[in-house]
Amino acid sequence: MAINYPNGKKFIPAKEQPVKKKKKDFSFSNRGKTLEDELNETNEYYLHLGLAVIHKKPVPVQIVKVEYPSRSAAVIREAYFRAPSTTDYNGVWNGRYIDFEAKETENKTSFPLKNIHEHQIHHMSQVVKHQGLAFMIIRFSALQRYFIIRFEALEVFWDRMLTGGRKSIALQEIEDIAIEVVPGAFPRIDYLPVLKQF
């Protein structure tokens, strides 16, 4: 199946990209989970307890070519991203609209700003202008550390990059301006209490 971005670039699924050999993780906690998995479970927990209604946004895809090898099966052979997606999650909590992006990095000393796209910054800016809460959850996977950074703080680092400054946010800078969330069991990433500080 061939999928292309709106700008015409070819989408290469993760399974076709070169695989980097990872160091073995001898820790049994949270084995094989991604930040997205952890957030989806956390959001299900919040929904079940009636604390918030937050969902992962679907990726807008236009299906172009489908083959039917049998009556009961369909195989998508070609599809395109209809438009750039905005952020990963949105919903309602405590009467407020919330919208956030979730990013992971294996880097131990900084978060590369190339992991964020301009249209995501623009989207979060619009959310904040309309009194919504916009933020980013960053997972330093090698360190098993999680941080929540408000959009207003993220925008400062983005603007710094646009004016020729550093193209990443140092871990020390994140520690200074973001709020760290210590992972737990239920929910795994309890980020709602952090929003109360916003």
DSSP class of residue 23? P
How far is the CA of 163 from the CAs of 106, 158, 167, in angstroms? 26, 9, 10
101 has binding-site annotation: yes
Spell out the residues 6+ positions from residue 48 whose beta carbon is closer than 8 angstroms to its own: none
Residue reference for tokens 């930040």: 35
Whether 120 has a binding-site annotation, put simply, is: yes
**41 annotated to a ligand binding site:** no
Q: Is 88 annotated as a binding residue?
A: yes
Residue 129: both structure tokens together: 């202008």
Q: Determine phi and psi for 172, rounding to 5 degrees.
A: -60, -40
How far apart, in whole angstroms, are the C-alpha atoms of residue 70 and residue 66? Answer: 12
CA distance 36 to 59: 14
DSSP percent split of the chain into helix, strand, coil, nearest 5: 30, 35, 35
37 contacts: CB under 8 Å, gap ≥ 6: none
Q: Go through the chain and tell me how many residues it has.
A: 198
Annotated binding site for Mg(2+): 86, 88, 101, 120
Annotated binding site: 86, 88, 101, 120
